[in-house]
Amino acid sequence: MNAVVVGGGLGGLSAAIRLAHAGWRVTLFERQAELGGKAGTNTLGPYRFDTGPSLLTMTHVFERLFSDVGRRLEDYVTFRPLETICNYFFDDGTRLFAYGDVERFAREIEEKTRDDAAAVKAFLERTREIHDTGAALFLERSLHEWSTYTRLDTLRSLLRFGRIDPFRSMDAAHCAHFSDPRTVQLFNRYATYNGSSPYRVPATLDIIPYVEYVLGAFAVVGGITAIPRALERLAREMGVTVVTGAEVTRIVVDRGRRVRGVAWRSADDKEADASRESEFTPAETVVCNVDVTVAYRDLLDDEVAPMARRYRRLEPSSSGLVFYWGISRSCPELDVNNVFFSPDYPAEFRALFDELCVPEDPTVYVNITSKVTPEDAPANGENWFVLVNAPRNEGQPWDEIVPRVRDRVLQRVSRVLDRDIAPYIAVEDVMTPADIEARTGSNKGSLYGISSNGRLAAFLRHPNRSRRHRGLYFCGGSAHPGGGMPLAVLSGTIAASLIERYER
C-alpha cells in the first residue's frame, strides 16, 4: 500500500516514520532542499542559526516516536535539560532567573517580586491538574472521531471539564493568583508559545508552564536542526523514500473525491519552465503536512469546502520578526534563552491582534545556541537569534518596518546590558512574516496555525482525517492538536493511527 506525505516538516516526518514502520510504502515530497520546514538552519559566515523554533519541551513525545519503532532517541540526538530555562529582564531593572528546578524558581520569584514561593508552587499544582485532566484528550487523540468520546478516560476528562479552567482568560487567572505585575507578565508570556494573546486565550493554556517547569525545558546539542536531521535518518532507516526539491502541485482526487495520488515537479523543472507538466505518483493515502488553508487553495482547488471556508474565518496565530545576528563578542550575562520584557504588555497584544502592526516597544527574545553548541559561533562570538512577536502578514510594508524595529530592539537590549550592541553585529540576516509565509508555506506567516484566542479553538482546528476527501489526512501545526514542535509530531502520530484504522 502506497502513502505519500506532502511536506517534510516535523509533522510530516512523524507520520512518515510511523506509516513506514507499519508497513506502508511511503514517499515524502519536500519542496525545499532540506527537511525540517520551520525548524530550518541558516549559516552566515562562521555563524550558524536555527531559523525558527528554539525551545524544546515535551521530549517524551520524541522519545516515544523513536521507541515505538524500536529505536532509542539518544542514539540519534542529544537533548540537554536547561538548568536556567530563561533569563527575564524587566523594564524596571529586575532580573529574574526562571530555574528548571521548581523549588529554586519559586524562591527566586519570592526574592525578586511581591509573590511568595508558596503561590508559585500552588500555581504549578493548578497547572498539573489542567495537564492531567486535559493533555491526553486534547493533545494525543483526535477530537473529531466518535471513538474518542466512548473512552472511559475521555468521559472522565469531560466530567472534570471545569478543572481545565476554560471560562476565564489566562491573564484573569494570573491576576487572581499573583499580586505582582511582573509575575503576571512572566506567566502571561506563555500564551505566545502558540501565537496567542494572554488577554484572550482560556486559562487552559496554563498547561504550557506545566510542561516547561515540571516536565522540563531543553536545548538540543547541535541546535534544533538536529531534530529534523534525526527524524530524517530514522525515516530513511524505516524505508521512507525522501524526495527533496520536489513541489507537490496537486493532490489528485477522482470524481468520488477519493485520493489517487499527487502531481509534483522538481524545483529544477519549475525553474527551467514553470508550465512544465508535473509527474504523477499514485497513492491510496495522502498525508498533507502543508498548511490547511494553503492546501485547500493550491493543492485541492477546493476553496468552497466547508473546512476551507471555516479556516478562512478563523484568526491565524501571530507571526514573528527574526533578526539573526552574529555577535563578535561574548555576553556572559546572557544565557541560552533571554527575554527583555516590554513595559506595556496589553499594548503589545493590542498591536499584534487588533492593529496588526509590530508593537511600538516590543518584548525581545534572544536565543543563543552557541552557549550549548560552541561550534555555532567563532571563539569569543555568539549567534543571536532575536525574535519579536509580529502580526500575521497582511501585506504590511516590511521593508519600512524592519529598520524601525531593529533600532528599538538594539536600544532595549543595549540599555539593559549597559553596552552598545550594534558595533558587535558582524553578520546579519532577517526573516519577516512575509518570508515565513513564502519559505514555509504557512498561512499569512502564522507560526502556529490558528490562534487559541477563543474558548473553542481546540475544537475548531482541522481534523486529522478529511471527511470530504477519502484517503486524505492532515498533520502539522495548522491541524489538530496545533503548533509547536511536540504538537506537530503528535499530529503526525494521530494521522498515522487514523490511517491504520481507516485505510487498511
Q: Whole-number minimum distance, CB 130 to ligand FAD, in Å? A: 19
CB atoms within 10 A of CB 155: 12
Q: Whole-number minimum distance, CB 146 to ligand FAD, in Å? A: 26
Q: What is the 3-state secondary structure (H, E, C) of 214-282?
A: HHCCEEECCCCCHHHHHHHHHHHHHCCEEEECEEEEEEEECCCCEEEEEEEEEHHHHHHCCCCCCEEEE
Task: Kindly tell me which of 54 and 197 has the beta carbon lying closer to ligand FAD.
Answer: 54
> Cell 486534547 appears where?
138
Distance between terminal CA atoms of the chain? Answer: 9
Q: Whole-number minimum distance, CB 251 to ligand FAD, in Å? A: 9
Task: Kindly tell me which of 234 and 485 has the beta carbon lying closer to ligand FAD.
Answer: 485
Task: Kindly tell me which of 54 and 113 has the beta carbon lying closer to ligand FAD.
Answer: 54
What are the cell numbers at 110? 519570592
Q: Whole-number minimum distance, CB 282 to ligand FAD, in Å? A: 17
For residue 62, give the H/E element and its range.
Answer: helix 59-68
Q: Whole-number minimum distance, CB 247 to ligand FAD, in Å? A: 4
CB atoms within 10 A of CB 102: 14
Look at strands 364-368 and 382-390 and give their pairing. antiparallel
Task: Kindly tell me which of 106 and 351 has the beta carbon lying closer to ligand FAD.
Answer: 351
Q: Which residues, at least 6 apart from 439, have a Cβ–Cβ distance to it below 8 Å?
A: 32, 40, 431
Task: Kindly tell me which of 140 and 180 has the beta carbon lying closer to ligand FAD.
Answer: 140
Half-sphere exposure of 501 (CA within 13 A, CB side): 12
What are the cell numbers at 127? 497547572
Binding site residues, ligand FAD, CB under 6 A:
6-12, 29-32, 37-39, 52-55, 247-248, 289-290, 320, 322, 387, 436, 440-442, 447-448, 476-477, 483-485, 488
Q: Whole-number minimum distance, CB 280 to ligand FAD, in Å? A: 14
The residue nearest ligand FAD at its CB is 9
Task: Kindly tell me which of 124 and 251 has the beta carbon lying closer to ligand FAD.
Answer: 251
Q: Whole-number minimum distance, CB 196 to ligand FAD, in Å? A: 13
Q: Which residues, at least 6 apart from 480, have a Cβ–Cβ distance to it below 8 Å?
A: 142, 143, 144, 461, 462, 463, 464, 491, 494
Task: Kindly tell me which of 157 and 393 has the beta carbon lying closer to ligand FAD.
Answer: 393
Task: Kindly tell me which of 76 and 178 has the beta carbon lying closer to ligand FAD.
Answer: 76
Q: What is the 3-state secondary structure (H, E, C) of 110-159?
A: HHHCCCCHHHHHHHHHHHHHHHHHHHHHHHHCCCCCHHHHCCHHHHHHHH
Q: Whole-number minimum distance, CB 286 to ligand FAD, in Å? A: 11
